[in-house]
């Protein structure tokens, strides 16, 4: 549901006419001479269309239900920002766990439905400073999918269930489900998602997008509803690698309130060199053990590897199996950090109403089981309240860092003399089932390595299975974000697979 600025479909034409009239009254922009200016002008012309598409396809029709709220004056603001910064008025949708001054930031929970802080997260302030226009907020898997193991990705009590534009009875993955579905449906130029473990890359892959989880520290986490101090990051979700790099350029920056950002090694412009990027002679490690058991996904991946080879890459098979102690340490670290970070965020909100601690959220859910816990519970929240052993946390965190960094990605890259690791990102979208929850299957992907290590992970579309998108993952070492983006851009140019298109209807088998 939209919580404000809801424009009835019958007013769509009036809205477009009014916005066009407002644009006509503003000063004409400078001639669009450069490719960047021409692209920005095209986006400006599309700004009104985005609103109309939200009204036709999100509020009505197939009801994708990706957008919680939007600004009907976004096209006017885009015109005003046309000559500003690298984004030049491009419209961006923002996941509803990132604070923006215009709307409440709910994380999908009714406990935070009135969380109108009136402030921008630092990454949003940078977005605006660099010429971006916040078009609206997107739905997400409630509390970024950390409440329960039995959850259904794409559902929140505030936003309801988000549907996949490629097949509306299929899942959008999570937790940045609304951001992924919205860009796949053509509701904005780009979107911001957040990830702790797979929450940018999975919905991007399943919705046929480019998604980039940067190294932790490239983008500020201040005023973002948290899970993990060591794994959380925001990142771009777009249609192309170049657009992802452009959006990252706009939101990356140091934040004194987020110490890890002061350690980051950034580049000024993540788009630099992408258009001429080459894989000639680049050694790439292939994680065969992460291909999984599905023959159709394996066939797509083999075709992508052939594209990489034709582009000049040297492929090296890399063997890796995650040790059991990695999984034994992972959840306790997240639960410990969840309690600590959530208490910090909730107690520091400049809003009188609502929860001040994770314990308050648990109590709210217990008091509102019909609205909040009809489909799944909150056992992970309850476990987090009991995960208080600081010494055990430190030991587990050291184990994770060792296994995913020094004995993980760093070792795999060094021992095999490769620059990147590749694998399928995940399988095709499963049928959404609120009663039984998510149905990940096939043992596909290795994005957890980059997520836990805090290293960069890019997913790029590599084709489709029966009309459902599948992505390829490219992972690199810490602070190698620019190099990973360049590798993704080079693959994108070399890709030969035909990409599926959204159908906005329930899935059905492709005709032979």
Is there a contact between 194 and 234 (Cβ–Cβ < 8 Å)?
Answer: yes
Is there a contact between 110 and 371 (Cβ–Cβ < 8 Å)?
Answer: yes
**Each residue of 77-108: b (16+ CB within 10 Å) or e?**
bbbbbbebbbbbbbbbbbbbbbbbebbbbbbb
32, two tokens:
């669009």
Active site residue 486: no
141, 151, 153, 199: which is the annotated catalytic residue?
Answer: 199
Active site residue 95: yes
Closest CA to 292 of 411, 426, 170: 426
Burial class from Cβ neighbours inside 10 Å (0-12, 13-18, 19+) for residue 319 reads exposed
DSSP 125: H
Closest CA to 341 of 124, 106, 143: 143
**Cis peptide leading into residue 175 (ω within 30°):** yes
109, 151, 175, 179: which is the annotated catalytic residue?
Answer: 175
Distance, C-alpha 102 to centroid of its chain: 21
Active site residue 411: no
**How many of the other CB atoms lie within 10 Å of CB of 17?**
11
What whole-number distance in Å separates Cα of residue 422 and Cα of residue 288?
A: 9
The angle at the Cα of 424, spanning 314 to 491, to the nearest 5 degrees, equals: 45
User: Could you please report the per-residue DSSP string of 164-178?
Assistant: BTTBTTB---SSSHH
Closest CA to 44 of 84, 104, 100, 6: 84
Report, as residue numbers or ranges, the catalytic residues: 95, 175, 199
């Amino acid at each position: 549901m939209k919580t404000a600025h809801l424009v009835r479909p019958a007013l769509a034409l009036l809205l477009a006419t009014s916005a066009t009239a407002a644009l006509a009254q503003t000063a004409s922009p400078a001639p669009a001479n450069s490719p960047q200016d021409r692209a920005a002008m095209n986006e400006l012309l599309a700004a009104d269309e985005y609103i109309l598409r939200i009204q036709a396809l999100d509020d009505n029709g197939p009801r994708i239900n990706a957008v919680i709220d939007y600004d009907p004056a976004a096209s006017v603001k885009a015109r005003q920002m046309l000559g500003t910064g690298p984004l030049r008025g491009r419209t961006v949708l923002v996941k509803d766990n990132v604070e923006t001054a215009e709307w409440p930031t709910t994380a999908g929970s009714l406990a935070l439905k009135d969380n109108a802080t009136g402030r921008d997260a630092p990454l949003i302030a940078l977005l605006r400073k660099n010429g971006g226009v916040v078009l609206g907020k997107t739905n997400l898997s409630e509390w970024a999918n950390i409440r329960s193991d039995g959850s259904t990705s794409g559902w929140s009590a505030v936003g309801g269930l988000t549907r996949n534009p490629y097949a509306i009875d299929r899942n959008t993955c999570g937790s940045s489900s609304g951001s992924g579905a919205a860009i796949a449906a053509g509701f904005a130029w780009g979107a911001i998602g957040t990830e702790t473990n797979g929450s940018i890359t999975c919905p991007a892959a399943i919705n046929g997008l480019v998604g980039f989880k940067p190294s932790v520290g490239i983008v500020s986490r201040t005023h973002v509803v948290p899970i993990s101090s060591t794994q959380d990051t925001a990142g771009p979700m777009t249609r192309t690698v170049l657009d992802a790099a452009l959006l990252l350029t706009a939101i990356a920056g140091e934040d004194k309130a987020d110490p890890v950002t002061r350690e980051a090694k950034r580049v000024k412009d993540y788009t630099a060199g992408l258009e001429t990027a080459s894989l000639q002679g680049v050694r790439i490690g292939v994680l065969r053990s992460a291909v999984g058991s599905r023959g159709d996904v394996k066939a797509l991946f083999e075709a992508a590897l052939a594209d990489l080879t034709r582009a000049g890459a040297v492929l090296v098979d890399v063997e890796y199996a995650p040790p059991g102690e990695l999984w034994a340490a992972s959840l306790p670290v997240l639960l410990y950090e969840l309690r600590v970070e959530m208490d910090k965020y909730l107690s520091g909100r400049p809003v009188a109403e609502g929860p001040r601690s994770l314990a308050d959220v648990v109590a709210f859910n217990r008091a509102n089981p019909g609205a909040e816990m009809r489909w799944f519970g909150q056992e992970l929240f309850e476990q987090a309240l009991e995960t208080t052993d600081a010494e055990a946390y430190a030991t587990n965190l050291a184990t994770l860092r060792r296994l995913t960094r020094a004995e993980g990605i760093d070792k795999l890259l060094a021992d095999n003399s490769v620059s990147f690791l590749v694998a399928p990102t995940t399988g095709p979208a499963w049928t959404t089932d609120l009663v039984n929850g998510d149905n990940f299957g096939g043992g596909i992907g290795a994005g957890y390595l980059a997520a836990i290590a805090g290293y960069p992970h890019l997913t790029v579309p590599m084709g489709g299975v029966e009309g459902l998108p599948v992505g390829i993952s490219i992972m690199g070492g810490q602070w190698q974000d620019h190099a990973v983006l360049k590798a993704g851009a080079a693959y994108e140019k070399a890709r030969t697979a035909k990409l599926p298109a959204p159908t906005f209807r329930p899935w059905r088998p492709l005709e032979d």
